Amino acid sequence: MRLNGLSAFPITPATPAGKVDVAGFRALVARLCAAEVDSVGALGSTGSYPYLTRGERRRALDAALEEIDGRTPVLVGVGALRTDEAVALAQDARAAGAAAGLLAPVSYTPLTDDEVYEHFAVVARESGLPLCIYDNPGVTHFRFGADLVGRLSRVPGVVAVKSPSPAEGDVGGRLAELRSVTSAGFSIGYSGDWNAVEALIAGGEAWYSVVGGLFPRTAMAIVRAIREGDVAEARRLNARLEPLWSLFREFSSLRVIYASASLLGLASAEPPRPILPLAGAARAKVAEVLTGLGLDTEA
């Protein structure tokens, strides 16, 4: 499978003690299937993977795979602080039937390039699971240079990268640079919803999307416009979402999506503590934007 199009990342509803609400999670995944997303990104950062035990992560993955029943590939977060834990999670994911693993260089002690390279090589080799490099310095605090992504693209089993979308500048030029140092067939995709559409227009193959995890029809409309070559329509649909992107930047996409799911009655869960649910004026602002954009009726 070559990762492309919309990869939709749902939250993982769970109790305050970290037990996954399997029925609630399946309901969110069912929305993604109904909207015919190109892949489901289970247990991404939005799915709060680092806050869940290995057992709960397996329960969530099994539930997603059962709900999806082969209709769309599942990409699953297998990141962990320790290399042996990441290996075990990737082995679990392969045994369960995930199409690929999303591996972030989760860190506490800051890591060197060689340490990250070795971490990825060991997880790929010992699990046999195709891996997508999860490059998100906002949570891992590790910065991938193009040269390291290039080296990793030549490790057997490392098949894709999920890069942060450039906020400005020559988006196409940076994509071309990454393309020039990575192996043939390596998929280059983007996250960071509010800048991702320009990165897709420039030729990025996949959009790893938070908004797509709760509002898949809205995100798929943008992806379809780009596929049909209607760049103006894609930009129009994206610009329309600016009030939501503004909330994402202010409160983080994770907090806003949890509040949205709660406001629309799509999931009753709160984010794992210490992360606090949005309340008061912040929550009211989210409600107002959802209504203004008609996202309450996509639900």
Contact between 272 and a second copy by CB under 8 A: the answer reads yes
How many residues touch a second copy under the rule CB under 8 A: the total is 35
Instruction: Convert the chain into a string of H (helix), E (strand) and C (coil).
Output: CCCCEEEECCCCCECCCCCECHHHHHHHHHHHHHCCCCEEEECCCCCCHHHCCHHHHHHHHHHHHHHHCCCCCEEEECCCCCHHHHHHHHHHHHHHCCCEEEECCCCCCCCCHHHHHHHHHHHHHHHCCCEEEECCHHHHCCCCCHHHHHHHHCCCCEEEEEEECCCCCCHHHHHHHHHHHCCCCCEEEEECHHHHHHHHHCCCCEEEECHHHHCHHHHHHHHHHHHCCCHHHHHHHHHHCHHHHHHHHHHCHHHHHHHHHHHCCCCCCCCCCCCCCCCHHHHHHHHHHHHHCCHHHHC
Contact between 148 and a second copy by CB under 8 A: the answer reads no
Q: Which residues of 74-102 are buried (b: 16+ CB within 10 A; e: fewer)?
A: bbbbbbbeebeebbbbbbbbbebebbbbb
Flag whether 46 is marked binding. yes
Contact between 139 and a second copy by CB under 8 A: the answer reads yes
Q: Which of 49, 162, 190, 285 is flagged as catalytic?
A: 162
What's the closest the beta carbon of residue 58 comes to a second copy, in angstroms? 17
Contact between 273 and a second copy by CB under 8 A: the answer reads yes
Give whichever of 115 and 298 is closer to a second copy, judged by the CB atom. 115
Contact between 12 and a second copy by CB under 8 A: the answer reads no
Out of 54, 125, 141, 154, the residue judged to bind a second copy by CB under 8 A: 141
Contact between 78 and a second copy by CB under 8 A: the answer reads no
Known catalytic residue at 285: no
Applying CB under 8 A, the span of 11-19, 30-38, 152-160, 191-199 interacting with a second copy comes to 11-19
Out of 57, 161, 271, 290, the residue judged to bind a second copy by CB under 8 A: 271
Report which of 14, 4, 3 is spatially closest to residue 258, judged by C-alpha positions. 14
Known catalytic residue at 134: yes
Q: Which of 19, 49, 117, 134 is flagged as catalytic?
A: 134
Contact between 156 and a second copy by CB under 8 A: the answer reads no
- Tokens of residue 173, six digits: 């030029």
Out of 4, 27, 36, 50, the residue judged to bind a second copy by CB under 8 A: 50
What's the closest the beta carbon of residue 272 comes to a second copy, in angstroms? 6
The whole-angstrom separation of Cα 285 and Cα 206 is 30
Give whichever of 71 and 249 is closer to a second copy, judged by the CB atom. 249
What's the closest the beta carbon of residue 284 comes to a second copy, in angstroms? 17
The contact pattern for a second copy, residues 88-127, with x = CB under 8 A and - = no contact, is -----------------xx-xxxxx-xxx-xx--x-----
Give whichever of 82 and 240 is closer to a second copy, judged by the CB atom. 82
Would you please indicate which residues are annotated as catalytic (active-site) residues? 134, 162
Residue ranges in contact with a second copy by CB under 8 A: 16-18, 45, 48, 50-51, 81-84, 105-106, 108-112, 114-116, 118-119, 122, 138-139, 141, 252, 254, 271-276
